[in-house]
Structure 1
């Protein structure tokens, strides 16, 4: 924790934080998005946010790791929200000029991972975050609870509900 306290005054120590946690944050974002460029961008923004917030950061736990994952999860959710709004605007702009067509029958999910990520993307944001932190970022229950700013017992309830919602999404997509 001394590293975090000293990093705002000694930028070379911030580089140590990046080397220690950068790969894990990048891997977490990549596992959610399967997009190298997006993972690079979100990782950079995460550490930029971290740098700007370090002077006022007061950790509840022993490490800065859960906080970094919370920043990354929030940035990724923000990206998908803005991407969804942009896609909706583009669809609305073109729908007037297109004839109505039935969906193509030849579209198929390529792998179990793709189906899982697709189902995960259809969940509520909070469900996506809890499952991503626990299973894609491999955070412990304590770390995920800290990242979400909830008690450990509350995280267990959130995780249970999110897994149930994911199960329903997966079963619905197999019909």
Structure 2
């Protein structure tokens, strides 16, 4: 299954690019910045629902990346999850400082960004389309922070279970279990809202199947 993260990792010679960036090569750093900036912004915006704030936090993420990349010890394909882990920690630090909680996919303005994400595989299209529904938005924000994160990283950011594990610093097995629990909780919440079964069932069934496919 093609993923957003997978397409981004098709940068030519990503391993070489990351190796050069570790040496603070300006061209390599610029290429990584240009390629990953929209995706880091999207990831943060989905959680804070404020464009100027998301832009500020995104800038902070790349400043932290610049400081930390000389110590990056993995290969090129691990760079994107590593960068999103910085974004996750930066966003959570901000929210905690303001005594706030992330509300993934809650703001009505998110529909514009969701629309941009729909040219994907059938499974992801099904889930993302379902996330457009106001009823589902209301249900998603009732999930735990970890459950919101795993759904955001899987279905919106396009990461594999292994990649999600690197972002959340969990094993791949733990991520699979967390996704199953998140989808089960989402289903229960939708049923309580009396969402029609014909709308709930396809999303839950297809999403569960995806958990055990190789990304």
Instruction: Give the TM-score of the pair, scaled to structure 2.
Output: 0.59
1:70 to 1:115, Cα distance in 2 relative to 1, 3 A: farther
Contact 1:32 1:117 in 2 (8 A): no
1:43-62 matches, cutoff 5 A: 43-59=58-74, 62=77
| Structure 1 position 39, deviation (Å) | 1.8
| Structure 1 position 118, deviation (Å) | 4.8
Distance 1:83 1:132 in 2: 22
Counterpart in the other structure of 1:135: 155
Contact 2:24 2:70 in 1 (8 A): no
Counterpart in the other structure of 2:19: 5
Is 1:163–2:183 an aligned residue pair?
A: yes
Contact 1:30 1:36 in 2 (8 A): yes
Distance 1:61 1:157 in 2: 27
| Structure 1 position 16, deviation (Å) | 1.0
Distance 1:70 1:27 in 2: 14
Distance 2:134 2:90 in 1: 21
| Structure 1 position 52, deviation (Å) | 1.0
Distance 1:35 1:67 in 2: 24
| Structure 1 position 40, deviation (Å) | 0.7
Contact 2:88 2:167 in 1 (8 A): no
Deviations 1:112-141 (A, max 9, x none): 555544543443322222122112212122
1:136 to 1:80, Cα distance in 2 relative to 1, 3 A: farther
Larger radius of gyration: 1
Q: CA RMSD in A?
A: 2.8
1:1-175 matches, cutoff 5 A: 1-7=15-21, 8-59=23-74, 62-84=77-99, 116-171=136-191
Q: How many residues align?
A: 151
1:126 to 1:57, Cα distance in 2 relative to 1, 3 A: same
Distance 1:126 1:36 in 2: 23
1:127 to 1:61, Cα distance in 2 relative to 1, 3 A: farther
Deviates more, 1:132-141 or 1:20-29: 132-141
Moved beyond 6 Å, runs of 4+: none
Runs of 5+ consecutive residues of structure 1 not aligned to the other structure = 86-110
Instruction: Give the TM-score of the pair, scaled to structure 1.
Output: 0.70
